[in-house]
């Protein structure tokens, strides 16, 4: 699978641009703020039907306009696929495949898988557990539609149980039977989610460790720990045991909504001890492992988007990353870098086909 052509109209700082792409490596160079990341964001839109930065669709419309269109022509095996995303102010977003509009955007998720590494991935290290759970959820739901529905059902039950707890504490009277009904729902969906997350991480961790070892030259040992209340027992039992705590807190204090990942280098959290280069290597290795897992489970190579991936890495780690992504294990790659000289240097020994584009305030030139 690869993207042959990308056409943008009124997207971010692009008025109108059409790009003929390499099926292997595509590099975008230019100053900060020139629009390099916007191109990767457009590719991400064609996979996930939304921005990778969790901003409102209309905020991606070019200033002074009232709509944007992202148009992508893909080759998948022997088939051609045309994916279009259209957003207009005041109207519902439209997403179509081969001129047939999707009624539910969720039906498209996973059809054109994408893995993206950006500087904002540091939020996985420094932000709260919500960010790390979102990473797990995105990865599993890409290939498991049932998981996404379980998440929807779990969150709905959690919302209702929390409302019930607040109502009871504020004078509605303690209703054990109603609590047990929501306990059963949380248990049903929560156990499924827990098992899916556990299976995912069992498969992900050794692949991640292998990538980190290669990129770092085996200089550091890393690990990834999955924390969940459900390691201690079944959710229905944990909810029963947490009655007093839930009543005091007026919300549900145990469950998969409190799961977390712990990023370790040696036996210490990378947030406290790792250098910027080590953190960057950790996060890039995690995304490469994500790529590998999707490739195996879906039997297709995702597009790999690497935004400013070489920043804070020494030349040896940069060369190892380029060696990896230019090999047969990966498919089509998109890379941004403000340093044109560095891009030229790292591509010197690459035998795969590649294209370099200069980006300057919404205009592109092929180099």
pLDDT of residue 349: 75
* Same domain, residue pair 46 and 194: no
Residues 143 and 182 in one domain: yes
171 and 288 belong to one structural domain: yes
In a domain, 118, yes or no: no
Residue 23 lies in a domain: yes
In terms of residue numbers, what domain contains 109?
A: 1-113+300-367
| Cβ-contact 123, 86 below 8 angstroms | no
- Which CATH number goes with the domain that contains 256? 1.20.1050.90
What is the structure's pLDDT at 172?
67
- Give the residue from 298, 332, 348 where a domain finishes: 298
20 and 168 inside one domain: no
Q: What is the pLDDT of residue 319?
A: 85
Residue 52 lies in a domain: yes
Same domain for 240 and 199: yes
Residue 317 located in a structural domain: yes
Please check whether residues 334 and 219 belong to one and the same domain: no
Listing from the earlier edge strand, what are the strands of the sheet with 333-337?
114-117, 303-307, 333-337, 25-29, 354-360, 363-366
Domain co-membership, 9 together with 90: yes
- Shared domain for 147 and 171, answered yes or no, is yes
User: Are 275 and 365 found together in one domain?
Assistant: no
Domain count, the chain: 2
In a domain, 121, yes or no: no
Tell me, yes or no, whether 276 and 341 share the same domain. no
pLDDT score at 184: 95
Whether 221 is covered by a domain: the verdict is yes
Last residue of a domain, one of 242, 264, 298: 298
Provide the CATH number for the domain around residue 319. Answer: 3.40.50.300
Spatial separation of the C-alpha atoms in residues 43 and 117, rounded to whole Å: 13
Is residue 60 within 8 A of residue 87, CB to CB? The reply is yes
pLDDT for residue 151? 94
| Domain boundary residue, one of 255, 275, 298 | 298
Alpha-carbon radius of gyration of the chain: 23
Work out the number of other CB atoms within 10 angstroms of the CB of residue 32. 8
What pLDDT score does 357 carry?
Answer: 92
Indicate whether 119 belongs to any domain: no
Q: Does residue 176 sit in the same domain as residue 65?
A: no
Determine the pLDDT at residue 344: 82
Q: Do 151 and 229 belong to one domain?
A: yes
Does 120 map to a domain? Answer: no
Query: Each residue's pLDDT tens digit in the chain (367 positions)?
Result: 899 999 999 999 999 999 999 998 899 998 888 899 999 999 999 998 888 887 888 999 999 999 999 999 998 887 899 999 999 998 889 999 998 989 888 888 878 889 999 988 899 999 999 999 999 998 888 778 789 899 999 999 999 999 999 988 887 677 888 899 999 999 999 999 999 999 999 999 999 999 999 998 888 889 999 999 999 999 999 999 999 999 999 999 999 999 999 999 988 899 888 888 899 999 999 999 999 998 888 888 899 999 988 888 888 888 888 888 887 788 899 999 888 888 888 787 777 788 899 998 888 888 7
């Amino acid at each position: 699978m690869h993207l042959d052509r990308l056409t943008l109209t009124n997207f971010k700082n692009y008025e109108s641009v059409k790009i003929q792409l390499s099926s292997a490596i595509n590099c975008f160079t230019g100053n900060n703020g020139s629009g390099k990341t916007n191109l990767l964001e457009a590719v991400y839109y064609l996979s996930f039907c939304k921005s990778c930065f969790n901003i409102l669709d209309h905020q991606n419309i070019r200033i002074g306009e009232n709509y944007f269109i992202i148009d992508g022509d893909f080759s998948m095996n022997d088939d051609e696929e045309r994916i279009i995303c259209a957003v207009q102010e005041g109207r519902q977003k439209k997403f179509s495949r081969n001129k047939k509009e999707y009624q539910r955007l969720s039906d498209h998720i996973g059809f054109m898988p994408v893995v993206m590494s950006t500087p904002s991935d540091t939020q996985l290290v420094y932000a709260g557990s919500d960010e790390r759970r979102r990473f797990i959820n995105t990865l599993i739901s890409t290939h498991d539609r049932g998981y996404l529905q379980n998440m929807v059902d779990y969150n709905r039950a959690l919302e209702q149980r929390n409302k019930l707890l607040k109502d009871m504490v504020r004078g509605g009277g303690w209703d054990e039977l109603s609590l047990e009904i929501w306990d059963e729902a949380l248990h049903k969906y929560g156990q499924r989610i827990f098992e899916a997350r556990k299976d995912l991480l069992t498969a992900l961790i050794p692949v991640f460790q292998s990538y980190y070892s290669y990129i770092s030259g085996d200089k550091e040992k890393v690990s990834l720990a999955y924390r969940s209340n459900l390691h201690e027992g079944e959710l229905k039992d944990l909810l029963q045991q947490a009655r007093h705590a839930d009543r005091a807190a007026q919300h549900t204090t145990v469950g998969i909504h409190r799961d977390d990942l712990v990023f370790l280098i040696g036996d210490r959290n990378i947030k406290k001890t790792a250098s910027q280069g080590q953190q960057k290597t950790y996060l890039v290795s995690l995304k490469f492992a994500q790529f590998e897992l999707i490739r195996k489970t879906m039997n297709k190579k995702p597009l790999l988007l690497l935004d400013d991936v070489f920043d804070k890495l020494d030349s040896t780690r940069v060369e190892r990353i380029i060696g990896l992504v230019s090999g047969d294990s990966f498919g089509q790659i998109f890379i941004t870098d403000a340093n044109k000289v560095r891009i030229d240097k790292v591509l010197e020994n690459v035998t795969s086909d590649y294209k370099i584009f200069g980006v300057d305030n919404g205009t592109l030139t092929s180099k």
